[in-house]
Structure 1
Amino acid sequence: MIDKQRRARRAALRTLYAIDVSGYESGQALESIRATLAEPDDHPARYWDLVVHRVTAVIDNLSKIDEEITVLSPRWRIGRMAAVDRNLLRLGISELLEGETAPLVVINACVELAKEFGDKGTPGFINGLLDQLCQNRNITIAAEE
């Protein structure tokens, strides 16, 4: 299950990135990304619904999500952010606001993707802003001990 979620987030990030930097429509980007996933050890049919759900959730709420980013990062405009950072934030914020996955899981997953696809400072940037969103929205990240 975790592998399925990880693969879905990775594919969703790649799709959002493609939409952002190439101007592809979401359907075109999803189709393009899915074609690249057809490798012997990867079976996108197992997790493709999760990819489509995540991408659609971000696209359908993009202005609301970008407003959240603006609040979280007032000194660093969205347009100046690296495309990977911007789309990781969009993906993470969408999942956090949806509330279907534990916040700690979402944040950790986004930080791991940041390590894989971002620059040296990306993991800390993503972690800090997603943590701040949780504080602003009174979203409990982890159960108190």
Structure 2
Amino acid sequence: MKSRTKARCIALQVLYEQDMTSHLPGSIFEERLVDEPLDPSLQEFSRQIIFGVLPITKELDDYIAQHAPEWPLDQVAVIDRNIIRIAMWEFAVQQCTPVKVAINEAIELAKYFGSDSTPRFVNGVLGALANRSNEIHQAFASIVKSKSG
């Protein structure tokens, strides 16, 4: 597994566990690092994903719901939602990863963690969201600013 993929994998595990439990994300992250050590730069990348996604989860989910109307969000598997959230954060919110790379990475995570239909679902939703990446980036710039300030 490529190193940045491994960092995304840990971020996904943390986001998934945090979604399913009341565990603190920082504690979950530290536990994951014991099992899967990462280089400091990859730890930071994983940390940025986790703490970049968490404060804007509701807003990310609103966009996901718009682009997966046949699947009410509460019926989308938790792992699938978190894979899409990570990719969206990378290509639309933070713009730290090219769209195609973020989608390909999300599909790889979907193949590893999801069901047989997850890669196709993730690809379809992210493909639709990618067409609006600049609009999403602008919307989240103000959301992130209002939440941090």
Structure 1 length-normalised TM: 0.84
Matched, 1:113 2:109: yes
- In the other structure, the counterpart of 1:96 is 91
The 3-state SS of whatever aligns with 1:115 is helix
Q: How does 1:51-70 map to 2 (within 5 A)?
A: 51-70=46-65
Matched, 1:21 2:16: no
Verify the 8 A CA contact 2:91 2:133 in the aligned structure 1: no
Verify the 8 A CA contact 1:37 1:44 in the aligned structure 2: no
- In the other structure, the counterpart of 1:124 is 120
Unaligned runs of 5+ in 1: 140-145
Q: How far has the Cα of 1:5 moved from its partner? A: 1.0
Amino acid across the alignment from 1:130: L
Q: How far has the Cα of 1:46 moved from its partner? A: 4.7
Report the identity percentage.
28
Verify the 8 A CA contact 1:84 1:117 in the aligned structure 2: yes
> Moved runs in structure 1, 4+ residues, more than 4 A?
none
Higher helix share: 2
Amino acid across the alignment from 2:17: A
Distance 1:52 1:3 in 2: 17
Output the aligned Cα RMSD.
1.8
Amino acid across the alignment from 1:76: W
Aligned length: 134
Amino acid across the alignment from 1:135: N
The 3-state SS of whatever aligns with 1:14 is helix
Distance 2:134 2:55 in 1: 23
Distance 1:102 1:5 in 2: 14
Structure 2 length-normalised TM: 0.82
